[in-house]
Amino acid sequence: MASGATLLFWLASAGEPPATDYATFNTFNSRTVLEFDQTTQEAAMFVGIMSRSYSSGGITVALHWATSATTGTGGWDVAIERISDGATDLDADSFASAKVVTAATVPGTAGVAAVGSIAFANGSEMDGVSAGDLFRVRVRRDVANDTAAADLRLLAIEVRET
């Protein structure tokens, strides 16, 4: 597959909540969004199967989001969990270490979309995910490092080959 090609994507409506501190569904001008609180590190999970056309290089995870805040920064962290056939105990999470999407200045107009992305190297950063593997992506707001004084609204996630 060509570098930069989209391997898979999820709209916010595909998000699944963790047991606690989960982002909440809402609508934003008739669009389904997941809202992440400004003070609590809320999360959402997305389950997928890595495209069989994935060539085992690194990936980039891009988060498409918006906010009503017009100043400050919005930041995220992302972690990946491979669900291995016959090896992953589904009774507990086994995510690789989270990587931080650098907090970006929010657009100066409320409701304008922004995109933040983070690269994952093939191997342990991706929890060993390869073509055809079932896996989860966990997205959390990086409340320790962002300063937007409003919820961040996740619209979609894209996974691209790097």
The domain segmentation of the chain, as residue ranges, is 6-161
Kindly report the pTM of this predicted structure: 0.93
Share of the chain above pLDDT 70, in %: 98
Fold of 6-161: Jelly Rolls (2.60.120)
pLDDT at 1 over 60: no
Q: What is the pLDDT of residue 44?
A: 98
Share of the chain above pLDDT 90, in %: 81
Q: What is the 3-state secondary structure (H, E, C) of the chain?
A: CCCCCEEEEEEHHHCECCCCCECEEEEECCEEEEEECCCCCCEEEEEEECCCCCCCCCEEEEEEEEECCCCCEEEEEEEEEEECCCCCCCCCCCCCCCEEEEEEECCCCCCCCEEEEEEECCCHHHCCCCCCCEEEEEEEECCCCCCCCCCEEEEEEEEEEC
